[in-house]
Structure 1
Amino acid sequence: MSEKNRDGKHSAREALREQRAKEEARHRRRRTAIVAGGVVAVLAVAAVISVVVADHDSGGGSSDSSAPVAAPKGAVGKDNLVIPVGAADAPSTLTVWEDFRCPACDAFEKAFTPTIHQLEDSGQVRSEYRLVLLIDGNLGGTGSLNAANAAACAQDAGRFRAYHDVLYDNQPEEQDDKFADKSTLLTLADKVPGLKTAAFTACVNDGTHDNWVKKSNDAFGASGFNSTPTILLNGKSVYGANSNLTPASLTQMVKDANKGKPAGKVTATPAS
């Protein structure tokens, strides 16, 4: 490997680590503010403090337990909160907790998407996507929610992976809540052949899966994880602020985990 390539890979890893560190610092500041606000609330109105904490702790707003929860087609796992990509019988599972407004998630996707696709398409890994609303909670707005709902609508159409990638390829600046505009999400759907149908458009405009997304966000709040992206390989965290994970090392981890195990049976994934 040339020194230039080594320097490039080192810079990419540093950028990923720095972005993840910023995301975790932002979350810590937010939790500190919540705790401080809770202390004031205890002094002022002790009876309502538990409601205040519950309302803020999950980031982008909790689901309404009385409202219907419409899971997207093919969702799996507890409460059907997981969108699976890849062979159901793949020997390894990559769990990806993500927020479509999260810049650290975007950095992860830009570095790892080709590798993850290769692992999925060769039957080595099944990815399990779990959607989160941290940025809506931290900065306000509805872009995380609306984009996640639109991605779930794309799952209904069998085109989640392609649309997921389009959203990250076109992610706005963190402070620009462009994904709150549903017309933007519908325009981006034009980049995925066959996605923008009347059914998809209605699903996006109606927020069909909003409560499902909020329930997924609730699950993240209860998981013990505190930043996005959170990446698990076979249940073990492999990516963080001090992580040295690279596409090559991820591939090797999967190879080691799958040693002696047959690849899963892969079905065709609609092209983007």
Structure 2
Amino acid sequence: MSQKNRDGKGRARDRMREEREREKAAERRMRSLKVGGTAAAILAVAGVIGVLAANSGGTSNEGPPAAPITVGESTAPATLAVYEDFRCPACGQFENGFRDVIHELTDAGKLKVDYHLVTIIDGNLRGQGSTNAANAAQCANDQGKFSPYHDVLFENQPAEADDAFADKDLLIDLAGQVDGLDNETFRTCVADGTHDEWAQRSNADFMNSGFNATPTILLNGENLYGNTSEPLTPDTLRNKVNQLAASS
């Protein structure tokens, strides 16, 4: 074999070795993400904050703060501030566990909920699903359909690493599960990203707030969801809100 051929094969082996190293590194990163996601889910069940806000894009926030999406009567004696990301598995666990009691308390006029939509997973794992889902949720809010559409998104939440909500057609299809929402105005709002800037400002507000993970849950300003000694449950949330209502 000529020296030229030997050199060529040597370079090919080096390229193959480098490619294997890159693949192994990618596998290690994916394992870390999966472990982190599993740990976050376990912590969320225990009432501890879930997904950390890391590498989620810039924190610059030009313009006024992004107004939250509010559900419930403005005169309610208790206000629940919910910071959540539609791609966040711990947020999904919170919603699945607390959805019924939140609806119960808002319907009774005892609780008002301010939803601050966050897009940190688009930054952590890359993608556009958090932003597109937040935009679609605000499009639903434009038509007075935020609460049922919000619930549908979490009921159909993809796996954390699956950026399925980046598909605007999927977000429009899911609107078919909400009476009266799947209309031309909603479809155009989703397709055009009408509220993308609002979603970006909402995320920047969160990143500049001092909170660093989702979900963050505050009741009249008190952080409830990260207390490991007294984990939040639907019953304790109901009791706290009823106490506030009784004393108002």
Q: Is the shorter-chain TM-score for this pair beyond 0.5, marking a shared fold?
A: yes
Partner of 2:233: 246
SS of match in other structure, 1:90: coil
Partner of 1:86: 72
SS of match in other structure, 1:173: coil
- Counterpart mapping for 1:1-272 below 5 A: 16-17=44-45, 20=48, 23-24=51-52, 27=53, 30=54, 56=55, 59-61=56-58, 65=62, 79-240=65-226, 242=228, 243-261=230-248
CA displacement at 1:81 relative to structure 2: 1.6
Q: CA RMSD in A?
A: 2.1
Whichever residue aligns with residue 139 of structure 1, its letter is L
Whichever residue aligns with residue 112 of structure 1, its letter is F
Unaligned runs of 5+ residues in structure 1 are 1-12, 31-55, 70-77, 262-272
Query: Using a 3 Å threshold, how does the CA distance of structure 1 residues 136 and 257 change in structure 2: closer, same or farther?
Result: same
For 1:101 and 1:19, the matched residues in 2 are separated by: 19
Whichever residue aligns with residue 143 of structure 1, its letter is G
For 1:166 and 1:15, the matched residues in 2 are separated by: 24
Contact 1:63 1:214 survives alignment (8 Å): no
From the CA coordinates, give the structure whose radius of gyration is larger.
2
Deviates more, 1:137-146 or 1:251-260: 251-260
Query: Using a 3 Å threshold, how does the CA distance of structure 1 residues 197 and 61 change in structure 2: closer, same or farther?
Result: farther
Contact 2:49 2:225 survives alignment (8 Å): no
For 1:18 and 1:64, the matched residues in 2 are separated by: 33
Whichever residue aligns with residue 81 of structure 1, its letter is A
Whichever residue aligns with residue 216 of structure 2, its letter is T
Whichever residue aligns with residue 258 of structure 1, its letter is A
Contact 2:49 2:213 survives alignment (8 Å): no
Contact 1:61 1:214 survives alignment (8 Å): no
For 1:157 and 1:22, the matched residues in 2 are separated by: 31
CA displacement at 1:130 relative to structure 2: 0.4
Partner of 1:7: none
For 1:95 and 1:192, the matched residues in 2 are separated by: 24
CA displacement at 1:22 relative to structure 2: 5.5
Indicate the percent of aligned positions where both proteins have the same amino acid: 49
For 1:114 and 1:85, the matched residues in 2 are separated by: 14
Query: Using a 3 Å threshold, how does the CA distance of structure 1 residues 203 and 234 change in structure 2: closer, same or farther?
Result: same
SS of match in other structure, 1:128: strand
Whichever residue aligns with residue 232 of structure 2, its letter is L
Q: Taking structure 2 as the reference length, what is the TM-score of the superposition?
A: 0.78
Query: Using a 3 Å threshold, how does the CA distance of structure 1 residues 63 and 233 change in structure 2: closer, same or farther?
Result: same
Partner of 1:266: none
For 1:110 and 1:202, the matched residues in 2 are separated by: 29
Partner of 1:72: none
Partner of 1:43: none
